[in-house]
Structure 1
Amino acid sequence: MNNFLLSRQLTAVFLLATAFTATADDAQTDLSEMTFKGDYDDHQMRDVIPFEAIPQAPVLNVEQALNTFELAKGFKIENVAAEPFLFNPVALAFDQKGRIWVCEMTRYMENLTGSTEDKADGTIAILEDTDNDGKIDKRSVFLNDIVLPRTISLVKGGIFYADQQQLYFTEIIEENGEIKPGIREIVDPTYAEGGNVEHKANTMLYAMDNWYYNAKSDRKYQVLPHDAPLETGSAEIYRNQYWKLARASTDYRGQWGLTIDDSGYLYHNGNSSPVQGEYLLPGELKHNPGFWPKVDAISIGPSAIYPARMNPGVNRGYLDGFLHTDQQNYGKLVNFTAASGSVIYRGDNFPANYYGLAITPEPAANLISARFIKKADGILSGEPAFPGHELLTSTDERFRPVNLYTAPDGSLYLADMYHGILQHKEFLTSYLAKQIVARDLDKNNNNMGRIYRVSWKNKKLEHTVNLAGLSAEQLIPYLTHANGWYRDTARRLIIQANQPNIGVKIKPLIQLNQSATGVINVLWTLYGLNQLDLTSLQQIFNNPNTTQNVRKTIIAVAKKLPAEQHNSFVAMLMPEIKNYELALQAATTSAFLNSANVLDLLKRILDEHLNKPYIRSAVVSGLADRAPKFLAHLNGAYPDDEFMYLINNLGKKPADRTNRAQLSESGKALYDLGKTLFNGKGGCTGCHGADGSGLSGIGPTFWNSEWVLDSKPRLAKILLHGMQGPITIGWQTWETSVVMPGYAQRQDISDQELAAIATYIRNSWGNAADTKSHITADFIQQIRIQTKQRSLPYKMEDLID
C-alpha cells in the first residue's frame, strides 16, 4: 500500500469516529484574492438565504448519515461500503462474481481551487463481501495511478476504464484469490479529449445491440472476434489476444451516466433534466449515409424536486427562482440543477409496479428522485412516482449520490461521493465559494465515500449467484432471469465467448412460457451472435399472444437475417404496418432488407402514418442509398412537401446549410465575423454546440428557434443580458440550470460584434432570417440603451409579448 493511500485510510478511520460542526467564523480561507470563472459581471451575488438560517454540514459517520435519510413508504436503506474500504466513488460495475469494481475520483475538487486534480493517484478498487453478510469487508486496489478515473466497464479478459483523456483496456489476472493487472493498453487516445471534468465522455454501457455506448459522447464501441466482419460505418481501432475493438459514430447524448430499459432504449440526462429518453433504438435514423437528423432527447416528467434540507449551496443560488422563499420550503432547491447517473430499475426486489421506474440522483439537493415513464405514439412523458415527495432524501449536505445501479441482489445501489464541493472550478461562482467556506465544505474531500443499498422492507434480497466459470451453455438460463443484471451479464458473456452454434441451444427460449423481457433478451443475444433465422422469428411473431414489444424487437433484430429470407420477412410485415409502433420499426429496419417489395412497404408506411412523429425521418433512414429508386417507384415525387424537403437535401448536413449568399454585402462581412466570434471569444459553442444544435441540459438549439428568428429586439435583449431556463422551442422544453451570461458588461465585445453574432446565428443551419439584410450595430446599441437598467438574466416569461 502506498503512503498516500495509507494516510487516507487512517484519516477516514478517524473521521468515522467523530463528527464536527463549523461556522462562517471558523472559516480560514480568504476569498478576497481569488478569481472565480463562474462569475458574470452583470450578476449580483446576493445571499437570498441569510447565513444564520442555513444549517451546518458536519462530517457524519455512516451511522449518523443513515439517520439523515427519509425514504418513501415501504423502502429501507443500508450501507454496503464506506471508508476505509471506499473513497469518492463516481462509477462502478459488477463483475460476474458480483464483486464491485469502482472508480474513485479522489482528487476531484479537493479544495476550492481544484489544485490537486492533475495528480495521478486516482484508484480503481475491487470491493468484496467475503462472508455474505451484505457488507464489504475486503478492498483490493487494482490500479492507483489514474488522473480522475471516470469510466469502468467489464469486458472479456479484463476491464475498460478511462481517465481524463483516454480509454484503456487492462487485463485481469486472478491467481490464488488475488487479482492483479496484466497487459494495460490505450484503446482510444481521444475518448475524453477536450473540455473539463464535468463535460467529458463517461460510462461505457453494454447495450442490447452488442455495442458499448457512452454519455457526453457521440462514439460507440464493439468487441468482436478477430475474424468477424466489421459493421458498416465502423473501423477497427485496437486488438488484443481476446478480441478486436471497433468504433463508430452515434447520436450525441447525455452528460453523466447512461442506462437502458428491457427493450434496449437508452436513457440519460442533462443537468436540469432528471432523465431523458430516446423514443427510437440507438442509431435508427442514421442508416441513410446522406441523412444526418438530430435525435431528440425527451425529458421524462417534471423537473421539480422536494429536498429535505435547504440548498443555498448551489452555483446560481443568488438568482430568482432557484431557491424557494416561502416559509414552508424556505431555501430549498426548486428544480433539478445537477442530475447525475440515472437508472431504469430492472431488479426483482421492488414491488412489480416499480419495475421500470426511472430513478435519478440529485447530489446538489441530496436526494434520489423517481418517475414513471409513459409512452404514446412518438411521445415519452413521465409522472412522479411519489408526488410531492422523493424516493429518498437526506439532511446531510455532504450526501452526494452521483450514480445508480440495479444490483445482482435485485436492489438499487447508490454511489455516494460524500463530498463537500460539487461544482468544478471552471464554473464555480464567488457566491458558491462563500457558501462552501462557511460550512467547511472545502475540507475532507478525498478521504470519504459510501455505497448504499435501497430495497423493499418486506422482501428478502436474493443471494448473488457466481456466474464466473460457467460455460456459455450453462449461462443460457440466466438470459430470462427476473433480474435485468443477470440478463445483461449473461448476454454479454455468451456473445463475447463466441461459441459456434450456441444459438441452437438458445432458440428454444423463444416461446410464450417465457417472460416478454426474457424473450427480448434472447432475441438480442441471437442478434449479437449472428444466429437468427426466419422460422424462429415467424413462430413467435405470428402468435396472437405475443406482446407488441416482442414483435417490435423481432422487426429490429431482423436486420441480421440472411439475405435469402428478406422477401419472406417483408411479406410478413405488410399486414402489420397499420400499427404505428411496428411501422416505425419496420421503416428503419428496411435499410437492411434487400427485397423487391421494400420500397412498397416504405410507401405504405408513409401513407398510413405520414404526420405521426419520426415517420418521415424513419422512412428516409430506411431508404439507405435507395432514394432515387424510391422516387422512380413513385413516378418522381411523394405528395408531401416536408418529406420531399428531406429527400431533396440528402447529402447536405444541417450544420452546413447557410443563408450567407443571400445576405447584403455588409451582412456577409458580419456573418463571417459572427462565425469567428461564435467559435472563439464569444464562447457560444460550449453550450450550444459548434453546429448550433444545442447541448442537452446546457444550451438550447438555434435551429429554427423562434427566439433567434422571430424577433430581433428579443434576440438583442438576450445577447445583452443573458437568459435563464427553462425555455420552450417549438414543442420541446429545454430544461437547463446553466445561465447564459449577457454580453452587456463585457468590454471586449462591441455592439458591432454582437450584431455579427446575431447575423450569423439567424442565417446558419437552415435559418434564413435576413435575406438581403443584416443586424446592425446601431440596432444593438438602441436595445442596449433601452435595457440599461436590466441587472439579471431574462426568463422566458419576461420576453413573451
Structure 2
Amino acid sequence: MKSRILLLSLASVTAAHAQADKFPPMPAVQAQTPQQAAKSFELPPGYRMELVLSEPEITDPVVTAFDGNGRMFVAEMRTYMQDIDGNNQRKTASRISLHTDTNGDGTYDKHTVFVDNLMLPRMILPLGKGQIVVNETDSLDLYLYTDTNDDGVSDKKELWWAGGPRGGNLEHQPSGLVWAIDNGIYTTYNSFRLRWTPNGIKKEETKANDGQWGLNQDDLGNLYYVNAGGEKGPISFQAPVVYGMFNPQDQFADGFTELFPAVGVRDFQGGLGKVREPEGTLKSFSSGAGIEVFRGDQLPSELLGDVFFGEPVGRLVRRAKVSNNGGLKVLSNPYQEQKSEFLRSKDLCFRPINMTTAPDGTLYITDMYRGIIQEAAWVNPGSYLRKVVEQYQFDKVIGHGRIWRLVHTSTQKVKPPRMFDEPTAQLATHLASPNGWWRDTAQRLLILRQDKSVVPLLEKVAKQHKSPLTRLHALWTLQGLDAVTPELVRAKMADTDPGVRAGAIRVSETLFRKGDASFQKDIEKLAKDPDPNVALQACMTAKYLAWPDHMKLVSDTVLNSTAKGVKEIGATLMLPPGQKLTEYSDKERVVLKKGEEIYSTLCASCHGQNGLGLEIAGMKGHMLAPPLGGSKTININPKGGIYVLLKGLQGDIDNKKYEGLMISMASNDDEWIASVLSYVRNNFGNHGTFVSPSDVAQARKDTESRSSPWTYQELHAQLPQVIPSNKLKVTASHNGGEANRAIDGSAESRYTTNKFMEPGMWFQIELDAETPVIGLVLDTSGSANDYPRGYEVTVSKDGQEWSQPVAKGDSKNAITEISLDGTPKKFIRITQLGSAPGNFWSIHELRVLADPKK
C-alpha cells in the first residue's frame, strides 16, 4: 500500500510543478486480464507467477493468511479509493473472504465470505479451528470471529482485546498481528506487543519500531518492518524491538535504495524529483509494503532467508539478500549490477502490497491491482499527483485484485496441512518441518491447546533434535506452555548452535522475571561468547532486565569487541533513554567507510579497534597510545586532529605518559586525512562535524613552517579555547528557564524549546566581558533531528541594539559549527530560521570558542 508523509519543502513542490506544468491527455490506463498480466512479469530464469485468485472472487485484497488446515483468509478493502477523492472509504462494506482447497489439488475451489460489512480490515490472525482475530481501520480493538458450524461463515463475534479508537490517515495505522517465535504478537506503529495466555491477553511495552505497512520474522524471530512514509524501506530488523530500535547507517549495501522498475509514467508522490530520466521510472524507494522473509521449502534454497517486499508505486518486488557482519545484518540487492529487480511488471496496475510464505512452500504475493495506490490526501486538487492520475485516468481502474503464487521449475505439490485434526503429539512433529510456516503454525496451535502431555516430548526435542531450528521452536513452545525449566534453559545456553544459545538467553528472561536472578551469571558468561550474535543478545537482555550494574556488562562487551554489529548496535544500547544515533547522508557514509578502513588497518594497532588505546603486553598500566574516545584534541575543534596528523605529537598528553610516538601522516593526501579524522570524530562516543579536504589543505598552509612534532601544550595553544560556562549567561526566546541545560557540561541533559521549530526562535549568550569569539558549536547528538533548520548570528554590546547577521548558514546534522570573525563580543544571539513540525530546537552542549592568540 502506498503511503507517504509529505516531506517536500514548498520550494521543491513549486519547482516540480513548474517542470510539469503541462499534462497532455494520454491513452487511458486499461486493466489487463490476469492472463495478460501474467505475461507482463519479468523474473529470473526458472521462476514464474501462477494465478491463485482474482476478481470476482476477491477485490482490493490487502492481506493473506492461512489457518492450520491451509485455508486462506483474504482481507479485502473494497472501499479503498473507489474514486479520485476517496469518497465513502469508511463505509462498512469491506470483508474477509475464505478460500478452501477441498480436494488437495492446489486449487481453491470453495469461496465464502467469512466476515462481512467491515471498515477497511487491515490485520488477520488465524487461531484455532474456524477462528480469526481481526482489526479494522480507525481502531486498535481486536475481535475474535468464529465459525461454530463449519460452513465457512463466522457466526460469533467477541472482543478479544480492547485497544480503543485509533485516528489518523488510514495509511498511517498499524498492520501485522504477527505471532512471533517468542510468542509475542506484534504490530507496526504500536510500542507494545500482546501475549495470549489461558487467562486472557496481556499487553507488554516495547520500544518504537517505525514500521508502517508490513511485518514479518526470520527463522530466529528477528522482526522485519517496512516504512513507506519516510521512504526508508526495511527498518528496525537488527534485533527484536523489545530491546530497542536499531537502524545503523550501514545496514544497507551501497545503492540498496535505488530501484529499477520496468515501466513508469511519473506517477510518484514527490513529483519529478523521484523520476529517473529519460525512462520516467521511479529511481528510489517511494513506498514499501508487505515484507516477508522467505522460509518455504518449494522454491530454490538460494531464496531461503531472503527478504521480499513490495514497491507498489514501482510495480515491483524487491528481493534482498541478508548478510551478517559481526552481528550486523546488511541488506543488498543481488540484481544491483544488472540494474534490475527480482520481480517487476510492465503492467501499470500491478500493485504488490503483501507477501506470504504459504503452506505449500511457495511465496504468495497479494496484488491490490488498481490504478490509484495513494490515498486521497496525496491526490488532492492541485497536487502534482492528481494531474498525473487524471492524465492517465488511473482512477477508473477499480474493482480488481489478484493473488499470485511464485513457483519455480523445481516446485512440487505439497499435501495441504490438517493440523486441527491431528493429536497433539503429531502436531509437535511439524516443529521439524523445513517450511517455516508449518513450524510457526504448529507452535502457535500447541500453545493454544495448552495440552501439557506434550511437555516431555518437547523437552526431548529441545535437547536432542538434529535441527537447531527445531530445538529452538521446542524451547519457545515450552515457554509458551509455561513449562520451561531452568535446567533446560541452561543446557540450551551451551548448545552447539549460536542461534539456540541466543534464543536460550531470551527464554531465560521469562524465568528471570519470575524471580530466578541466578541467570545473571550465565548471561554475563555468554557476553564473552565467540559468536557476536550471542554476545549481543547477552547485552540486550542485560539492559532489558536492568539488573544492578547491567551497563557495565554492556559497555565492557561493546568496548572490548571488534565485531561490527556489537560495536554499532552496542553503541545504541549505551545511549541514555530517548537519545538516537546521528544519521548520515549517503555521501557522509562513503567518507566514514573509507575512514574506517584506514583506521582499522593502520590506527587500530596503537589506539585499539575500540578507540580506547592499547595496553602494552606484559606491562600492566602502560599504554601504547592515548584513547581517542572523548579526546579533547579530537573533539574541541577539527584543527586538533588535522594538526596532529600533519606534524605528529610527542611527550606527555594531558600529564599522562604513553610509550608510542605519533608520527606525521602528512605524506597522505588531504582526502585520506579528512576521511580518517571524520571517522574518528564520529565514533568511539565522539560526535563531531566532518573534516573536509579543504580544511586539511588550509591547515597545511597554516603549519607549513613547522618541522617538528607538537607537544600537547604547544598544540592546544594553537587551538580555539572553550570559554568556561561560569563566564556565560544564557537565555532563550522559548523555555528560557531551561537555557542553562545547554552549558551544564552534561550531554545527557539538554535545553529544548518545548515547541516545534518555527522561524524567529533565538538562543542568547552573554559573556562576562567582551571576548574575541571565533566560533560556536551547537551539539544535539542526543536528539539528532533537533538541529536548527537554518540560522543566523547577530551580536550586540548591550543586548539592546543588534548588528546585521555576522554569520548565516543551514545546518544538516546534529553538530552545528559556526565560524565568527574573532572580534570582541559581549552578547551573541543565534536565531533559528526554519520550520520543523515534529521537532523541537534543542542544544545538548553549547561550546563558545575564543581565539587562543588574543
Same fold (TM over 0.5): yes
For the pair 1:74 / 2:42, whether they are aligned, the reply is no
Q: Identify the range of structure 1 (131-140 vs 353-362) with the bigger mean alpha-carbon deviation.
A: 131-140
**Inter-partner Cα distance in structure 2 for 1:465 and 1:758:** 53
Name the amino acid aligned to 1:355: L
CA distance in 2, matches of 1:110, 1:676: 41
Q: Which residue in the other structure is 1:171 paired with?
A: 145
User: Structure 1: which amino acid aligns with 2:473?
Assistant: N
Letter in 2 for 1:195: G
Question: Which residue is 2:570 aligned to?
Answer: 615
The counterpart of 1:434, out of the listed 387, 403, 420, is: 387
For 1:214, the equivalent position in structure 2 comes to: 187
CA contact (8 A) 1:416 1:451 kept: yes
Equivalent residue, structure 2, for 1:651: none
How many angstroms does 1:754 deviate by? 6.6
Equivalent residue number for residue 784 of structure 2: 705
1:494 — aligned with what? 446
Structure 1 residue 678 and structure 2 residue 764: aligned?
no
For 1:275-354, list aligned pairs within 5 A: 275-285=234-244, 295-296=246-247, 300-301=252-253, 302-319=256-273, 322-326=274-278, 330-354=279-303
Partner of residue 371, structure 1: 320
Q: Say if 1:510 and 1:58 are closer, same or farther in 2 by CA, change over 3 A.
A: same
Per the alignment, residue 274 of structure 1 pairs with 233
The CA distance in 2 between the partners of 1:204 and 1:297, in whole Å, is: 26
How far, CA to CA, are the matches of 1:459 and 1:354 in structure 2?
13
Amino acid at match of 1:370: R
Counterparts of 1:198 and 1:309, CA distance in 2: 25
Compared CA separation, residues 664 and 104, structure 1 to 2 (3 A): same
Rounded Cα–Cα distance in structure 1 between residues aligned with 2:98 and 2:477: 28
Which amino acid counterpart does residue 202 of structure 1 have in structure 2?
S
Which one-letter code corresponds to 1:284 in the other structure?
A: Y
Distance (Å, rounded) in 1 between the aligned partners of 2:733 and 2:151 = 74
- Structure 2 CA distance for partners of 1:131 and 1:473, relative to 1, 3 Å: closer
User: In the alignment, residue 260 of structure 1 is paired with which amino acid?
Assistant: Q
How much has 1:514 moved relative to structure 2?
A: 2.5
Aligned to 1:195: 168
Corresponding position of 2:472: 520
- Cα distance in 1 for residues equivalent to 2:8 and 2:167: 19
Residue 553 (structure 1) aligned with residue 503 (structure 2): yes
**TM-aligned CA distance change 1:595 to 1:501, over 3 Å:** farther
Deviation (angstroms), 1:79: 0.4
8 A contact 1:216–1:256 mirrored in 2 = no
User: 1:640 and 1:501, CA in 2 relative to 1: closer, same or farther beyond 3 A?
Assistant: farther
Q: 1:529 to 1:116 in 2, by over 3 A?
A: same
* Residues 60-139 of structure 1: pairs in structure 2 closer than 5 A: 60-139=32-111
On the 8 A contact 1:87/1:417 being kept in 2, the answer is: yes
Do 1:570 and 1:597's aligned partners in 2 also have CA atoms closer than 8 Å? no
Aligned to 1:252: 209
CA contact (8 A) 1:275 1:300 kept: no
Q: CA deviation at 1:365?
A: 1.0
Q: Pairwise mapping of residues 220-239 of structure 1 onto structure 2 (< 5 A)?
A: 220-226=193-199
Deviations 1:325-368 (A, max 9, x none): 14xxx111111201111111011112222100011111101111
Shift of 1:186: 6.5
Cα distance 1:569–1:507, how it changes in 2: closer, same or farther (>3 A)?
A: farther
- Partner residue of 1:20? none
Confirm whether residue 143 of structure 1 aligns to residue 100 of structure 2: no
TM-fit CA distance, 1:518? 1.9
Q: Secondary structure of 2:289's match?
A: coil
Q: What is the distance in 2 between the residues matched to 1:314 and 1:599?
A: 46
CA contact 1:38–1:426 (8 Å) conserved in 2: no
Residues of 1 paired with 2:813 and 2:521: CA distance?
Answer: 40
**Number of equivalenced pairs:** 622
Is 1:43 matched up with 2:43?
A: no
CA contact (8 A) 2:752 2:841 kept: no
Cα distance in 2, alignment partners of residues 516 and 38 from structure 1: 48
Distance (whole Å) between structure 2 residues aligned to residue 577 and residue 552 of structure 1: 12
CA distance in 1, matches of 2:568, 2:7: 41
Query: 1:645 is matched with which residue?
Result: none
Q: Which residue pairs with 2:437 in the alignment? A: 485
Q: Is the 8 A contact 2:182 2:476 kept in 1?
A: yes
Residue in structure 1 matching 2:426, options 462, 466, 474 = 474
Distance 1:362 1:458 in 2: 27
The amino acid across from 2:342 in the alignment is L
CA distance in 1, matches of 2:28, 2:155: 43
The equivalent of 2:351 in structure 1 is 400
- 1:668-695 CA deviation, whole Å, 9 max, x = no partner? 479999968629999xxxxxxxxxxxxx
**1:179 positional shift:** 3.0
How has the CA–CA distance of structure 1 residues 374 and 480 changed in structure 2, closer, same or farther, with 3 Å as cutoff? same
User: Which 10-residue stretch deviates more, 342-351 or 54-63?
Assistant: 54-63
**Residue identity opposite 1:65 in structure 2:** A
More contact order relative to length (CA 8 Å, sep ≥ 6): 1
Q: CA contact under 8 A between 1:418 and 1:450: conserved in structure 2?
A: yes
Q: Which residue of structure 2 lines up, in the alignment, with residue 389 of structure 1?
A: 340
Could you say what secondary structure the match of 1:506 adopts?
A: helix
Q: CA deviation at 1:249?
A: 4.2
Letter in 1 for 2:215: L
Measure, in 2, the Cα distance between the counterparts of 1:177 and 1:216. 35
Q: Is the 8 A contact 1:762 1:768 kept in 2?
A: no
The residue that corresponds to 1:262 in the other structure is: 219
Distance 1:754 1:679, change over 3 A: closer
Q: Partner amino acid for 1:314? A: F
| CA-CA distance at 1:602 after TM superposition | 5.9
1:705-749 deviation digits (Å, cap 9, x = unpaired): 3882597369xxxxx9999xxx8879xxxxxxxxxxxxxxxxxxx
**RMSD of the alignment, in Å?**
4.1
Larger radius of gyration: 2
State the TM-score, normalized to the length of structure 2: 0.65
- The one of 640, 664, 689 aligned to 2:731: 664
1:153 aligns with 2:125: yes
Residues 781, 814 of structure 2: 8 Å contact kept:
no
**Offset, 1:767:** 3.6
Displacement of 1:474? 2.2
Aligned residue for 1:421, secondary structure, equals coil
Counterpart in the other structure of 2:704: none
**8 Å Cα contact 1:570-1:598 kept in structure 2:** no
Residues 609 and 615 of structure 1 are in contact (CA less than 8 Å); yes or no, is this contact kept in structure 2?
no
How many Å separate the matches in 2 of 1:510 and 1:259? 24
Query: Match of 1:183, SS?
Result: strand
SS of residue paired to 2:267: coil
Q: Residue deviations 1:224-258, cap 9 Å, x none?
A: 111xxxxxxxxxxxxxxxx4443534423311110
Structure 2 distance, partners of 1:465, 1:762, is: 54
Secondary structure at the counterpart of residue 452 of structure 1: strand
Q: Distance in 2 between matches of 1:185 and 1:614?
A: 39
8 Å Cα contact 2:355-2:363 kept in structure 1: yes
The 3-state SS of whatever aligns with 2:567 is coil
Could you list the per-position Cα deviations for residues 531-553 of structure 1 after superposition, in whole angstroms to 9, with x for gaps in the alignment? 2234334445445xx22222211
Change in 2 beyond 3 A, CA 1:502/1:101: same
| Paired amino acid for 1:122 | S
